[in-house]
Amino acid sequence: MFLDKRIIYAKLTKLFYKLTYGTGLVRSPLMKRFEDQIRKHKDKLIKPGDAGFCLPKAGVIQINESVNKQDMALPAEVIDHFIEKSCYRAIMNFCMCRDSNKCKDYPRDFGCLFMGEAAKGIHPDLCRSVTKEEARAHVRKSQELGLVNLAGKAYVDCTWLAIGPHTKLFTVCSCCPCCCVSLVAPYMAPDLIDLFHKMPGVSVQVGDECVGCGDCVDACIYGGIVVEDGRAVITERCLACGRCAEACPNKAITVQADDQDYVKKAIEFLEPRVDVT
C-alpha cells in the first residue's frame, strides 16, 4: 500500500532537517552560498501576509512605570484569543525539529499546536485532536518547560503537512535551541527570516547591573544579543522572548511592556491574516 502523501511529505521534511540542521550544515559557511538561491525561491516558502510573533514569557515581562499596571493582559492571551475562536485544534505527536536533532534537553514528543479549518487535514497518525482547554494546557506546559512560543501564519507549515489553505492555519510553535528558527536566525540574513516579529509595544532593556558575563548570549536562541565592550547589547534579531532575562545572574536584563495595548495590537495584526473559525 502506498503511503499517504501527507506522511511522505513529513518524512521528507524530517530527512531535510536531519541533513541540514542535525549535521550542523546550517551553521557552515557553505550556507551563505545558498542565500541568493533561497531569496530567488523565497516566494515558495513565504507567502504575502505570513507573519508571527514571539511571545515573551509571562514570568519575565515587566510593565513600564508610565503604563497603567491594572488589568494588563499577559502575552499568552494572544494565543488564547485564537484558541477561543478556533473551530478545530490539533497537537502534533512530535516536534519535527527536536525529533530530527535528537534533542536531549526538551521533550521530543512535545509538538506544535495547529488551529483552524486547514488543521483538520493533518494526517491522524501525525497529530491528535484536542479541546480548547487541552490547547490552553499545552501552551501553559510549553512555558513551564522553558520553551518559547512563536504564533502566527506560515505557509511552510502547509507545505510540509500537505494541507491547506494556509489562510486557515494558525501555528503555535514551542521552540528550543534545537528548533529551525533558532538554528537559522544567527546564520542567515535577516530578510530571509523576516516573517517573525517582536510583539508590538515590547522592548528589551539592559541595565547598569550588566557585567558582560555572556550568559545571556548563551541563552538566546535567535542571536538577538551580543557582548560589546564588556556589556550586553540587543541586536535587530532580538524577538524579546525573555530567555536572556531569565539567564542573567545580575537581573540586568528586562523584557518590558511599554504599551498597555500590546496584546490587543498583536491580535489585531494577526487576525486579518488567518481565519481560525
Residue 249 lies in a domain: no
Strands 113-115 and 89-92: antiparallel
The 10s digit of each residue's pLDDT in 113-171 is 999 999 999 999 999 999 999 999 999 999 889 899 999 999 989 988 999 999 999 99
Residue 71 lies in a domain: yes
Which three cell numbers, joined as nine digits, stand for 228?
560589546
Domains contained in the chain, number:
1
Q: Which domain holds residue 160?
A: 5-200+260-273
Mean pLDDT (the chain) is 86
Residue 241 lies in a domain: no
The 10s digit of each residue's pLDDT in 206-237 is 999 999 999 999 999 888 899 999 999 999 88
User: pTM (2 decimals)?
Assistant: 0.87
Residue 267 lies in a domain: yes
Please compute, for residue 66, the number of CA atoms within 13 A of its CA located in the half-sphere on the CB side: 3
> What dihedral angle (degrees, nearest 10) is formed by the CA atoms of 57, 60, 66, 69?
70
Please compute, for residue 276, the number of CA atoms within 13 A of its CA located in the half-sphere on the CB side: 24
Residue 38 lies in a domain: yes
Residue 218 lies in a domain: no
CA distance 259 to 265: 9
For residue 17, is pLDDT > 90? no
Residue 209 lies in a domain: no
